[in-house]
Amino acid sequence: MFPSNQWYVAGWDCEIDRAPMARTICGEPIVLYRKFDRTVVALRDACPHRLLPLSMGIKEGDNIRCRYHGLLINGEGFAVEMPIKTERVHKSVCTKAYPVAERHRFVWVWIGEPEKADAALIPDFWPCSHPDWTFDGGYYPIKCDFRLVIDNLMDLTHETYVHQGSIGQADILEAPITTHSDGNRVVVTRWMPNIDAPPFWRNALKREGPVDRWQICHYVAPSSVIIDVGVAPVSAGATVEKHDQGVRGFVIDAMTPESETTTHYFWGMARNFDVDDTGFTARFKRQQGEVFLEDVEVLEAQQRSIASNPSLRLKAFSIDTGGIRARQVIERLSAPE
């Protein structure tokens, strides 16, 4: 159903604290919390006794006590005390513990076979943790299939209509796009040479004059899209391969499936300009949140329409090539090994 043996974003690093937090990932109910040493614990959110969610339990140090009959479970998922305290604990009384890693401001969990978890496979969100960059963002639960969000982000022609009142610009439709894929990677590139910078980018660049502008959407398996955006003065000679000459941002989108028709959407923007301007960071996050709510409205309506029209199929036009290729990767990764 979902690619397994993959790392998924379980939450922002700041969302997860000492108190247990419930979050269903790829259909698996998980409880997350931090130990005193700040490391994150992720356990199947079901008491091994009668399956009450452990997230309803009571923290005791680094352990969690089930709120039904008081079984005490440690951070590795093993029972350490039975409801009758004098009874011996057997190691078969346990709940699944998920491999967890904290990287690039997110907490990631490994869904699949724990012995295959390798931190080197965590998607490379480097701009989110690079010292020369600033990163912030938010979280929306969306009532739609995570693949619909990927389709949306791999095809920015929707900006013109969905974001008519905010970031939509007709000239985006005029620039040609190219789609390239290789293995699990899909890249949709829109290069806009020698144009007038829109106000946002002119302010970021802090100078007048024609610019080269780019929007490069990278699908990152299994369920993220990173969009490389920015402008550089034409005189700087930026190219599709190398464009660090101006101002640059990465729109970060991690879509963690909750169920087949619901998604945890973690979004944000990393940038390499005005990095110490915390006011800018806060204003931008608010604006980005408003723009993304326009997508949420459309995506949830699309999902409802899909459900009400079971005999109809999604059609793909040329603009959908990026999303279609990403779906092919997802299908391949979802196949049993």
Alpha helices by DSSP H, listed for 185-277, are 199-205
Cβ proximity to Fe ion: between 54 and 251 the closer is 251
Cβ proximity to Fe ion: between 45 and 295 the closer is 295
Distance between CA atoms of residues 212 and 196, nearest Å: 9
Element (H, E) at 182: strand 177-182
68 lies in the binding site for ligand FES (CB under 6 A): yes
Which of 47-55, 169-177, 199-207, 240-248 is the region at the interface with ligand FES (rule: CB under 6 A)?
Answer: 47-55
52 lies in the binding site for ligand FES (CB under 6 A): yes
Binding residues vs Fe ion (CB under 5 A): 295
190 lies in the binding site for ligand FES (CB under 6 A): no
59 lies in the binding site for ligand FES (CB under 6 A): no
Least spacing, CB of residue 266 vs Fe ion, in Å: 15
Least spacing, CB of residue 53 vs ligand FES, in Å: 9
Number of residues in contact with ligand FES under rule CB under 6 A: 10
Look at residue 107 and give its three-state secondary structure. Answer: strand
Least spacing, CB of residue 215 vs Fe ion, in Å: 12
Contact 198, 330 (CB under 8 A): no
Cβ proximity to ligand FES: between 31 and 330 the closer is 31
148 lies in the binding site for ligand FES (CB under 6 A): no
Q: Which of Fe ion, ligand FES, none does residue 47 bind to, with CB < 5 to 8 Å depending on kind?
A: ligand FES
90 lies in the binding site for ligand FES (CB under 6 A): no
Which of 45-53, 104-112, 155-163, 236-244 is the region at the interface with ligand FES (rule: CB under 6 A)?
Answer: 45-53
Query: CA dist 59 to 24, 78, 212, 313, Å?
Result: 20, 15, 54, 48
Neighbour-count burial of 132, counting CB atoms closer than 10 A to its CB (0-12 exposed, 13-18 middle, 19+ buried): exposed
Cα 128–chain centre separation = 12
Distance between CA atoms of residues 101 and 35, nearest Å: 14
Least spacing, CB of residue 68 vs ligand FES, in Å: 4
Look at residue 95 and give its three-state secondary structure. Answer: coil
Q: Which of the residues 211 through 250 are near ligand FES (CB under 6 A)?
A: none
Cβ proximity to ligand FES: between 89 and 319 the closer is 89
State which of residues 25, 32, 47, 204 lies at the interface with ligand FES (CB under 6 A).
47
State which of residues 9, 26, 41, 71 lies at the interface with ligand FES (CB under 6 A).
71
Phi-psi region of 327 (alpha: psi -120 to 50; beta: other; left: phi over 0): alpha
46 lies in the binding site for ligand FES (CB under 6 A): no
Distance between CA atoms of residues 217 and 126, nearest Å: 16
Phi, psi (rounded to 5 degrees) for 214: -140, 155
Cβ proximity to ligand FES: between 47 and 330 the closer is 47
* Tokens representing residue 190 in the block: 């829109």
Least spacing, CB of residue 119 vs Fe ion, in Å: 31
Question: DSSP code of 310?
Answer: T
Between helix 321-334 and helix 146-153 the angle, nearest 10°, is 140
* Tokens representing residue 137 in the block: 């963002």
Q: Which residues bind ligand FES (CB under 6 A)?
A: 47, 49-50, 52, 66, 68-71, 83
